[in-house]
């Protein structure tokens, strides 16, 4: 057992955790910002009206926002109720590990005895996707038709309408997952419920719940559904657990897959690494394991990757960046598809703290050179055919995040744009302290490095006007010719606030994000472009944070009610990823109607046509910190 | 605000999740601006904290595979696309020739027969911290064929390709005319098999503390209940290392370990290790008592010191760990701490440790300072950053905050290097504000705190050297000496610093130590081949000693690195002329002037002709350049010394002489020589002799210039005008060694 390592001055009262949970809930909206929960003694005599008025003029100024009307006890209270209900739903999901689900005598633990609800009527599912006949792997997608479109059927799923058919709890659940299980025989189920909305009236609790079920069926078939449910709970006098009184399906979509494997993508990493024990040891562990062994390793795990053909054999190779103390790895593809670790041989087994890199030809000699963003500066390497040689170093660019390259000045060589997150002056901080969190301007500068030949770069940021709005917490950026005028424009995703979109015109960049309504004031993490609707105009997808906790809290009536605009912003910040469709005069915000908000705490989202049907799909890697102590959010 | 940060920091250390257990998402584009959630059936919904995603059709089977990085284990996944979609594809890799070679920014548009235009862009860097393959794959659905393909290159040109087949990988190279199209045949791929990374077995028990951390004040409780302090700094002792072993009587592995320690203790002593065993028996939260520990100690006959661990000390060790590791883990029992003779923690062993491991580690710890950090992982690695140093100031504030003032004071006493850095930071601010007095004070303080801190020495030396250059009085000598001392210190502690090497060369040169100065300039040049200042400085010194060939060699190196620098080219050209290497000088200048006009180099080209004995060419070139006194002198010298009537421009010489004499501007030997020659050319030999005599007085007797001037004086006295033939006795030769302004 452990020799006592608890800290001597840590509070240990039992009231500590609920408060922290509440704080953590906001952390999800606010990341590290705890301000909003700080009791504020504000009475400047201006009255509430004045404050609301002020919002527009000073988009949330330098002082704490007005939270005096927010009843924290009540919020804490409702979060506690939420935690209880989440616990019940988790239990329920454990019971549904297979299609049998609840045993008859267990139903009473979850639903009221008179539970009845309108079941999912499969005849109202419309097929929205089906693989072509030629496909060996079949994908189908079905969706609940808009009720208004089916004349006379609205009543069939309205639990409040006595005329609609009702079933008991078990039958209701079966109706919901039947479309993904079918008559496949044995199925394993995995489910998850998340409460994204909670309201309480006098004797009932109403929750909005996202339900996701995944079924792995015995006939090499899998299926999933994602549904939105209105669940009403009735508190019980004789139990601390409320019971489900009714469920109404407001949204339902399911998809199935049949192929030679149960799912579309398989993990081939072990053979890709050619079972190299060093690589297994390094990548088989994560930031938490390494940070316990390597001082200053960090736990946030911003491990970047780049793909390029380093040895000019026509096959892609991989360069992986690693946090402090672990060597970066160059994996060169072999003719048989596996890789050989060539990091040391190519002179780039760097153990400095690095996050991202680019493999690009900087001197147009047909060999891929390398730019590495290291904490101690940007490093530029020449590929001489058999190894990389360090040619120049830019120590002023410290701690870079994402980088992207284009020949912005069209002089025939590639320039590099580097995102900066922290302000170097804020050294010693372990986590960013951005304020105000929805519009911060205290981050580090981004840099445009102009390629002046011979692996020498010049900081051209100011010269070309990219120094405007350049003090944000930038995670990522992407070049694209959005207006098809032949030059490269630049979108920059910023954490804690407004993104930037710099249009290139007459040798200068100008931030037009506000004008084009693509500031996407949220927690921007990534940028990708594609033409998703074949209209020849490029569309934009930005990772943010979809947060059920953020949704719950920010939609509470009394939360920031005196500052409706601020409340709207908080709600916007919790809504998730954004999809902006390139239109004739700007962009259309279609993430909601296209159903692509819900990317959770999203990072490197990408457009990619997974099934080669010509339509670019979207993939979202996500999750912030999964660790040994759960966050219960 | 700070409390919130500390709370968050604490949560991070103990391992709390934030938005964890989130499954990756995938959305299938249904067309019509609508997407379906297919996160699970695609198999992409891993629970890890995903970060970067790069795309590549790795196996060239026509669909795009995923390369995913994660925060937590496994940190990497190669997810092969096994969807047999039944759809067609085509892929392109572009090579630019009129634009950047990677064709980043190029637009590829594919028109499907009877279908849509599909558009994609070649990009480098997208998503988050990621760059995808530059081979661009288009899914073509159930297309019958590709109607056409249009490539808009970033330089604005367009290529149109017809007759491309589906299900091919194309490589397309831009040319002036039709692009070159090749197809890539995918290699056999048989060795990829499904299977994720297996989690490695935990093997390492030793954690190497790099940089070493000074141990806090360490006390143990003696058997009689008194406390005594353990002196860990044993520098003057035979003991090289202390192994502090934390154990308990209830812990079976501890007893096995301690038995080994006891039985082999002489071997520990031979290795220079003393063991001190600290038991947790009898501490407040333990069930066992000191009696239990005594029983074990007696039974095993501990040949080493032992006592009870101090509760405060265990907490301090925890603080120590928290200061450097971002994840906090409690120390298990047993844990051993290997501490060096300077009282610094070097290795922490969690679980049992044996003699063999200790022997190996002591050897490893003897590695050079720079290589120590390679110990932290079992992998081979390299670095571009300097090794980190321990931060005693940080420990000081941490221990002060946590209520351990004695330890805080202890760390403060050792915090010289960090204090030096703080003083240095102040100095930099002062220098930026041109407050050199304050900077001087701060730098001296920094050096006092850490005499090995090179940047402080360097900046101090720079300030002193600057003062020396401005001081015309007798102090200058002392200043240069002092600057030299600090440059030498800077070079000693940071041998790779260009500025320190260069600075040392400079102050040595100013003190007349030319050979030494050249040596340091050459060191500097090796350190930074792209910086030419040191090459130029060395070349100038060499030239001043008449060593033209090595001077030229250095300048040639510098020019090859920076061919566009006019100063370098002018210097080199001057030396080449001086060495009679006119052709090389001509080639150099003409190459430089190929695409631009530059008065300095044009002058040098003219000089080349002048010294090569081609005065006509020289004059015509001089006249193209902005006039300057030196140019005028050269031109007049040519007029005055030419035997060709067309070049003896007497109309120009007369006003020149008149002007020079009246304005009394002929006060340097060169001007006087030119005026004398002009007078001789105009036939006034008497006046010419007088002026030439006055010129002669200004030359050092015996020099080549003086001898030539004397010869000309004799000519004038014999009524013979001066005649210049190329470089011989050319009075302008010395001016070549300075860059003309």
Chain center to CA of A140: 25
A245-259, B193-207, B247-261, B711-725: least confidently modelled range: B193-207
Residue of A nearest to B87 (CA): A612
Strand-pair category, B76-81 with A265-267: antiparallel
For chain B, the straight-line distance linking the first and the last C-alpha, in angstroms and rounded, comes to 60
Rounded to an integer, the average pLDDT of A429-452 is 77
Classify residue B550: in a domain, yes or no.
no
Classify residue B13: in a domain, yes or no.
yes
Residues of chain A positioned with their CB less than 8 A from the CB of B376? 293-295, 325
B265 with B322, same domain: the answer is: yes
CB atoms within 10 A of CB A383: 24
B156 with B213, same domain: the answer is: no
- Predicted local distance difference test score (pLDDT) of residue A162: 58
B635 with B707, same domain: the answer is: yes
B135 with B10, same domain: the answer is: no
- Predicted local distance difference test score (pLDDT) of residue B329: 79
Query: Tens of pLDDT along B623-632?
Result: 888 888 888 8
Q: Output b/e per residue, A22-46; b: 16+ Cβ within 10 A.
A: bbbbbbbbbbbbbbbbeeeeeeeee
Classify residue B455: in a domain, yes or no.
no
- Burial of residue B166 (number of CB atoms within 10 Å: 0-12, 13-18, 19+): middle
Contact between residue A363 and residue A413 where contact means Cβ atoms under 8 Å apart? yes
Nearest to A314 by CA among B258, B395, B57: B57
Contacts of A147 (CB under 8 A, 6+ apart): A153, A154, A157
Asked whether the predicted pLDDT for residue A316 surpasses 80, the reply is: yes
Cis peptide before A436 (omega within 30 of 0): yes
Q: Name the phi and psi angles at B83, rounded to 5.
A: -75, 115
Q: What is the CATH number of the domain that holds B333?
A: 3.40.30.10
- Burial of residue A388 (number of CB atoms within 10 Å: 0-12, 13-18, 19+): buried
- Predicted local distance difference test score (pLDDT) of residue A2: 38
Considering only the C-alpha atoms of chain A, give the largest distance between any 2 of them, rounded to a whole number of Å: 79
- Predicted local distance difference test score (pLDDT) of residue A9: 32
SS (H, E, C) B326-395: CCCCCCCCCEEEEEECECEEEEEEECCCCHHHHHHHHHHHCCCHHHHHHHHCCCCCECCCCCCCCCHHHH
Contact between residue B62 and residue A612 where contact means Cβ atoms under 8 Å apart? yes
* CA distance linking residue B425 with residue B420, whole number of Å: 9
Contacts within 8 Å (CB) and 24+ apart, B387-393: B387/B210, B387/B211, B388/A296, B388/B210, B388/B211, B389/B211, B389/B417, B390/B211, B390/B212, B390/B213, B390/B214, B390/B344, B391/B418, B392/B214, B392/B417, B392/B418, B393/B418, B393/B419, B393/B422
B24 with B95, same domain: the answer is: no
Query: Tens of pLDDT along B274-297?
Result: 999 999 998 888 889 999 999 999
Tell me how many degrees the CA angle B133-B137-B141 measures, rounded to the nearest 5.
155
Mutual orientation of helices B454-470 and B475-493 as an angle, nearest 10°? Answer: 160
Residues of chain B positioned with their CB less than 8 A from the CB of A283? 73-76, 197
Asked whether the predicted pLDDT for residue B387 surpasses 90, the reply is: no
B103 with B237, same domain: the answer is: no
Number of H helices, E strands in chain A: 9, 29
Sign, CA torsion A191/A197/A200/A206: negative
Query: Tens of pLDDT along B175-185?
Result: 988 899 999 98
Classify residue B314: in a domain, yes or no.
yes
CB-based contact, B593 to chain A, within 8 Å:
no
Contacts of A210 (CB under 8 A, 6+ apart): A193, A194, A196, A226, A227, A228, A548, A598
Contact at CB, B31 and A615, closer than 8 angstroms = yes
- Predicted local distance difference test score (pLDDT) of residue A527: 98
Classify residue B74: in a domain, yes or no.
no
In angstroms, the separation between the Cα of residue A75 and the nearest Cα of chain B is 20
* CA distance linking residue A89 with residue A195, whole number of Å: 9
pTM comes to 0.80
Contact between residue B107 and residue B118 where contact means Cβ atoms under 8 Å apart? no
A547-556, B208-217, B376-385, B650-659: least confidently modelled range: A547-556
Q: Which helix (H) or strand (E) holds B318?
A: helix B311-324
Q: What is the CATH number of the domain that holds B107?
A: 2.60.40
CB atoms within 10 A of CB B238: 9
For residue A468, give both structure tokens: 């405007």
- Predicted local distance difference test score (pLDDT) of residue A58: 31
Average pLDDT, chain A: 84
**Which of B350, B376, B402 represents a domain boundary (last residue)?**
B376
> For the CA atoms of B717, B721, B722, B723, what is the dihedral angle to 10 degrees?
-140
- Ramachandran assignment for B149, one of left (phi > 0), alpha (psi -120 to 50 degrees), beta (any other): beta
Question: What are the Cα distances from residue A592, in Å, to A195, A581, A588, B359?
Answer: 18, 12, 11, 64
* CA distance linking residue A515 with residue A523, whole number of Å: 20
Contact map slice: B 165-184 vs A, CB within 8 A = 171, 184
User: Which residue among B127, B152, B328 sits closest to A604, beta carbon to beta carbon?
Assistant: B127
Q: Which helix (H) or strand (E) holds A305?
A: strand A305-308
User: How confident is residue B731, by pLDDT bands cut at 50, 70 and 90?
Assistant: confident
Q: Which helix (H) or strand (E) holds A357?
A: strand A354-360
Q: Name the phi and psi angles at B70, rounded to 5.
A: -125, 160
B240 with B328, same domain: the answer is: yes
**Which of B184, B217, B239 represents a domain boundary (last residue)?**
B184
Asked whether the predicted pLDDT for residue A51 surpasses 70, the reply is: no
A544-548, A599-603, A607-611: least confidently modelled range: A544-548
Query: Tens of pLDDT along B124-176?
Result: 999 999 999 999 999 999 999 999 999 999 999 999 999 999 999 999 999 98
User: How confident is residue A231, by pLDDT bands cut at 50, 70 and 90?
Assistant: very high
Query: Tens of pLDDT along B475-484?
Result: 888 999 999 9
Share of chain A above pLDDT 70, in %: 82
**Which of B376, B397, B417 represents a domain boundary (last residue)?**
B376
Nearest to A280 by CA among B253, B449, B200: B200
In angstroms, the separation between the Cα of residue A170 and the nearest Cα of chain B is 24
Contact map slice: B 86-105 vs A, CB within 8 A = 86-89, 95-96, 98-102, 104-105
- Predicted local distance difference test score (pLDDT) of residue A164: 66
Q: Output b/e per residue, A256-292; b: 16+ Cβ within 10 A.
A: bbbbebbbbbbbbbbbbbbebebbbbbbbbbbbbbbb
* CA distance linking residue A320 with residue A325, whole number of Å: 14
Q: Name the phi and psi angles at B11, rounded to 5.
A: -60, -40
In angstroms, the separation between the Cα of residue A194 and the nearest Cα of chain B is 11
In angstroms, the separation between the Cα of residue A288 and the nearest Cα of chain B is 6
User: Which residue among B36, B69, B116 sits closest to A128, beta carbon to beta carbon?
Assistant: B36
Contact at CB, A285 and B73, closer than 8 angstroms = yes
B159 with B121, same domain: the answer is: yes
Interface size A-B, in CB pairs within 8 Å, comes to: 695
For residue B457, give both structure tokens: 């020495």
B325 with B237, same domain: the answer is: yes
Classify residue B394: in a domain, yes or no.
no
Contact between residue A285 and residue A297 where contact means Cβ atoms under 8 Å apart? no
* CA distance linking residue B518 with residue B510, whole number of Å: 12
Q: Which residue has the tokens 């925060």?
A: B71
Nearest to A600 by CA among B18, B127, B16: B18
Q: Which span out of A112-121, A225-234, B612-621, B654-663 was modeled with the highest average pLDDT?
A: A225-234
**Residue A140: half-sphere exposure toward Cβ, Cα within 13 Å:** 13
Asked whether the predicted pLDDT for residue B237 surpasses 90, the reply is: no
Q: Name the phi and psi angles at A608, rounded to 5.
A: -160, 140
Q: Output b/e per residue, B419-438; b: 16+ Cβ within 10 A.
A: bbbebbebbeebbeeeebee
- Burial of residue B629 (number of CB atoms within 10 Å: 0-12, 13-18, 19+): exposed
Contact at CB, A403 and B143, closer than 8 angstroms = no
- Predicted local distance difference test score (pLDDT) of residue B4: 63
Enter the ipTM: 0.90
A363-372, A510-519, B591-600: least confidently modelled range: B591-600
Contact between residue A619 and residue B44 where contact means Cβ atoms under 8 Å apart? yes
B218 with B340, same domain: the answer is: yes
CB atoms within 10 A of CB B266: 9
Contact at CB, A266 and B28, closer than 8 angstroms = no
Q: Which residue has the tokens 């920091």?
A: B9
Contact between residue B636 and residue B674 where contact means Cβ atoms under 8 Å apart? yes
B220 with B344, same domain: the answer is: yes
Contact between residue B444 and residue B450 where contact means Cβ atoms under 8 Å apart? no
Rounded to an integer, the average pLDDT of B194-221 is 85
CB-based contact, B51 to chain A, within 8 Å:
yes
- Burial of residue A65 (number of CB atoms within 10 Å: 0-12, 13-18, 19+): buried
Residue of B11, B32, B52 for testing the chain A interface, max A β-carbons within 10 Å: B52
Rounded to an integer, the average pLDDT of A608-618 is 98
Classify residue B709: in a domain, yes or no.
yes
Query: Tens of pLDDT along B394-414?
Result: 899 999 999 999 999 999 999
The tally of domains found in chain B comes to: 4
Contact map slice: A 360-399 vs B, CB within 8 A = 360-361, 364-366, 374-377, 379, 390, 392-393
Could you write out the DSSP letters of every residue in A398-432?
A: -SEEEEEEE-TT-SSS-EEEEEE-S-GGGTT-SS-
Tell me how many degrees the CA angle B205-B209-B213 measures, rounded to the nearest 5.
140
A37-46, A200-209, A298-307, B420-429: least confidently modelled range: A37-46
B221 with B320, same domain: the answer is: yes
* CA distance linking residue A525 with residue A538, whole number of Å: 19
Average pLDDT, chain B: 90
Residues of chain A positioned with their CB less than 8 A from the CB of B50? 603-604, 620-623
User: Which residue among A128, A263, A351 sits closest to B43, beta carbon to beta carbon?
Assistant: A263
Which residue range forms the structural domain that includes residue B104?
88-184
Asked whether the predicted pLDDT for residue A59 surpasses 70, the reply is: no
Residues of chain A positioned with their CB less than 8 A from the CB of B530? 392, 456
Strand-pair category, A305-308 with B130-131: parallel
- Predicted local distance difference test score (pLDDT) of residue A46: 35
Classify residue B443: in a domain, yes or no.
no
- Predicted local distance difference test score (pLDDT) of residue B169: 97
Contact at CB, A288 and B81, closer than 8 angstroms = no
Contact between residue A602 and residue A578 where contact means Cβ atoms under 8 Å apart? no
Question: What are the Cα distances from residue B310, in Å, to B38, B223, B293, B337, B339?
Answer: 58, 12, 15, 15, 18
């Amino acid at each position: 057992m452990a020799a006592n390592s608890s800290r001597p001055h840590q509070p240990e009262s039992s009231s500590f955790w609920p408060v922290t949970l509440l704080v953590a809930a906001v952390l999800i909206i606010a990341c590290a910002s705890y301000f909003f929960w700080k009791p504020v003694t504000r009475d400047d005599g201006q009255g509430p009206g004045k404050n609301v008025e002020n919002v527009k003029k000073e988009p949330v100024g330098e002082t704490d926002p007005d939270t005096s009307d927010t009843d924290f006890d009540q919020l804490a209270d409702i979060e506690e109720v939420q935690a209880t209900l989440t616990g019940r739903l988790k239990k329920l999901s454990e019971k549904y590990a297979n299609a049998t689900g609840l045993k008859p005598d267990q139903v009473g633990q979850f639903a009221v005895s008179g539970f009845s609800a309108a079941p999912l009527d499969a005849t109202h599912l419309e097929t929205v996707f089906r693989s072509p006949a030629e496909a060996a792997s079949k994908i189908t997608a079905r969706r609940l038709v808009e009720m208004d479109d089916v004349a006379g059927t609205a009543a069939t799923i309205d639990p409040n309408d006595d005329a609609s058919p009702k079933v008991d709890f078990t039958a209701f659940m079966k109706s919901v997952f039947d479309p993904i299980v079918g008559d496949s025989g044995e199925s394993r189920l995995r489910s998850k419920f998340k409460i994204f909305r909670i309201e309480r009236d006098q004797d009932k609790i109403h929750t909005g719940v996202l339900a996701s079920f995944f079924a792995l069926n015995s006939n090499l078939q899998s299926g999933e559904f994602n549904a939105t449910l209105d669940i009403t709970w009735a508190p019980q006098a004789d139990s601390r657990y409320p019971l489900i009184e009714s469920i109404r399906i407001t949204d339902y979509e399911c998809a199935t897959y049949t192929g030679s494997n149960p799912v579309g993508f398989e993990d081939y990493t072990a053979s890709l690494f050619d079972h190299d024990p060093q690589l297994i040891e390094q990548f088989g562990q994560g930031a938490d394991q390494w940070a316990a062994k390597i001082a200053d390793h960090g736990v946030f795990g911003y491990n970047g990757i780049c793909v390029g053909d380093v040895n000019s054999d026509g096959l892609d190779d991989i360069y992986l960046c690693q946090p402090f103390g672990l060597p970066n790895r160059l994996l060169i593809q072999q003719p048989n598809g596996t890789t050989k670790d060539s990091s040391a041989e190519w002179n780039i087994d760097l153990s400095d703290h690095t996050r991202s890199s680019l493999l690009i030809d900087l001197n147009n000699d047909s060999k891929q050179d390398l730019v590495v963003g290291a904490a101690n500066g940007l490093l530029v390497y020449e590929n001489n055919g058999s190894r990389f040689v360090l040619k120049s170093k830019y120590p002023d660019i410290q701690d870079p995040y994402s980088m992207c390259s284009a020949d912005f000045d069209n002089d025939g060589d590639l320039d590099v744009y580097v995102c900066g997150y922290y302000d170097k002056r804020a050294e010693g901080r372990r986590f960013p302290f951005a304020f105000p969190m929805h519009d911060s301007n205290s981050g580090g500068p981004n840099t445009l490095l102009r390629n002046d030949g011979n692996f020498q770069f010049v900081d051209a940021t100011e010269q070309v006007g990219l120094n405007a709005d350049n003090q944000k917490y930038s995670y990522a950026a992407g070049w694209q010719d959005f207006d098809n005028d032949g030059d490269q424009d630049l979108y920059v995703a910023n954490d804690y606030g407004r993104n930037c979109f710099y249009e290139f015109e007459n040798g200068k960049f100008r931030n037009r994000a506000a004008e084009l309504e693509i500031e996407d004031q949220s927690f921007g993490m990534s940028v990708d472009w594609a033409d998703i609707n074949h209209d020849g105009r490029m569309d934009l997808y930005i990772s943010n944070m979809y947060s059920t906790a953020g949704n719950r809290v920010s939609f509470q009536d009394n939360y920031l009610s005196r500052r409706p605009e601020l409340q709207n912003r908080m709600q916007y910040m919790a809504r998730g990823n954004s999809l902006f469709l390139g239109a004739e005069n700007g962009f259309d915000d279609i993430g909601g109607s296209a159903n692509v908000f819900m990317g959770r705490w999203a990072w490197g989202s990408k457009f990619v046509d997974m099934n080669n049907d010509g339509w670019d799909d979207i993939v979202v890697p996500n999750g912030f910190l999964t660790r040994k102590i759960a966050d219960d959010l | 605000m700070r409390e919130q940060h500390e709370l968050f920091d604490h949560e991070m250390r103990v391992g709390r999740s934030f938005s964890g257990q989130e499954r990756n998402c995938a959305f299938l584009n249904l067309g019509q601006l609508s997407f379906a959630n297919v996160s699970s059936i695609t198999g992409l919904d891993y629970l890890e904290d995903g970060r970067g995603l790069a795309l590549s059709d790795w196996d060239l089977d026509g669909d795009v595979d995923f390369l995913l990085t994660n925060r937590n284990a496994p940190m990497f996944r190669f997810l092969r696309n096994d969807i047999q979609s039944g759809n067609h594809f085509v892929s392109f890799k572009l090579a630019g020739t009129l634009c950047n070679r990677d064709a980043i920014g190029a637009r590829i548009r594919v028109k499907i027969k009877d279908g849509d235009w599909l558009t994609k862009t070649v990009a480098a860097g997208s998503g988050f911290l990621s760059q995808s393959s530059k081979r661009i794959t288009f899914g073509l659905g159930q297309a019958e064929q590709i109607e056409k393909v249009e490539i808009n290159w970033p330089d604005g040109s367009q290529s149109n390709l017809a007759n491309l087949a589906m299900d091919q990988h194309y490589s397309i190279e831009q040319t002036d005319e039709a692009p070159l199209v090749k197809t890539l045949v995918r290699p056999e791929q048989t060795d990829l098999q499904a299977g994720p990374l297996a989690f490695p077995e935990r093997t390492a028990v030793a954690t190497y503390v790099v940089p070493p951390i000074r141990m806090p004040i360490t006390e143990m409780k003696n058997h009689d209940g008194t406390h005594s302090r353990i002196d860990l700094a044993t520098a003057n002792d035979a003991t090289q290392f202390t192994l502090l072993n934390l154990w308990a009587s209830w812990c079976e592995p501890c007893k096995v370990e301690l038995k080994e320690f006891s039985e082999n203790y002489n071997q520990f002593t031979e290795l220079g290790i003393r063991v001190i065993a600290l038991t947790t028996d009898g501490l407040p939260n333990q069930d066992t008592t000191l009696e239990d520990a005594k029983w074990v100690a007696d039974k095993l006959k501990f040949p080493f010191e032992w006592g009870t661990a101090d509760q405060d000390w265990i907490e301090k060790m925890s603080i120590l760990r928290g200061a450097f590791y971002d994840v906090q883990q409690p120390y298990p029992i047993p844990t051993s701490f290997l501490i060096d003779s300077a009282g610094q923690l070097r290795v922490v062993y969690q679980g049992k440790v044996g003699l063999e491991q200790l022997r190996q580690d002591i050897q490893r710890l003897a590695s050079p300072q720079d290589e120590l950090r390679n110990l932290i992982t079992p992998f081979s690695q390299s670095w571009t950053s300097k090794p980190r140093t321990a931060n005693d100031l940080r420990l000081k504030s941490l221990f002060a905050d946590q209520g351990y003032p004695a330890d805080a004071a202890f760390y403060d006493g050792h915090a010289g290097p960090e204090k030096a850095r703080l003083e240095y930071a102040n100095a930099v601010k002062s220098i930026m504000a041109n407050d050199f007095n304050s900077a001087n004070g701060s730098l001296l303080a920094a050096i006092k705190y850490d005499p090995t801190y090179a940047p402080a020495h360097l900046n101090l030396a720079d300030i002193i050297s600057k003062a020396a250059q401005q001081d015309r009085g007798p102090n200058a000598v002392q200043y240069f000496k002092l600057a030299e001392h600090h440059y030498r210190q800077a070079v000693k502690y940071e041998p790779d610093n260009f500025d320190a090497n260069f600075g040392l060369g400079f102050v040595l040169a100013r003190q007349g130590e030319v050979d030494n100065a050249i040596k340091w300039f050459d060191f500097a040049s090796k350190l930074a081949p792209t910086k030419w200042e040191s090459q130029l400085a060395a070349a100038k010194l060499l030239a001043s000693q008449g060593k033209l060939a090595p001077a030229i060699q250095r300048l040639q190196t510098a020019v090859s690195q920076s061919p566009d620098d006019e100063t370098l080219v002018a210097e080199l050209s001057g030396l080449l002329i001086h060495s009679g290497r006119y052709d090389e000088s001509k080639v150099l200048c003409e190459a430089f002037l190929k695409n631009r006009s530059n008065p300095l180099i044009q002058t040098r080209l003219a000089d080349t002709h002048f010294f090569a004995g081609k005065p006509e060419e020289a004059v015509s070139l001089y006249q193209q350049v902005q006039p300057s006194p030196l140019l005028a002198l050269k031109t007049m010298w040519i007029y005055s010394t030419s035997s060709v009537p067309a070049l003896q421009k007497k109309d120009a010489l007369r006003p020149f002489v008149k002007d020079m004499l009246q304005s009394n501007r002929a006060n340097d030997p060169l001007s006087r020589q030119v005026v004398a020659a002009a007078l001789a050319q105009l036939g006034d030999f008497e006046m010419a002799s007088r002026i030439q005599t006055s010129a002669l007085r200004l030359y050092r007797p015996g020099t080549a210039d003086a001898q030539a001037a004397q010869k000309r004086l004799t000519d004038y006295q014999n009524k013979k005008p001066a005649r210049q033939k190329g470089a011989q006795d050319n009075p302008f030769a010395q001016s070549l060694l300075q860059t003309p302004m």
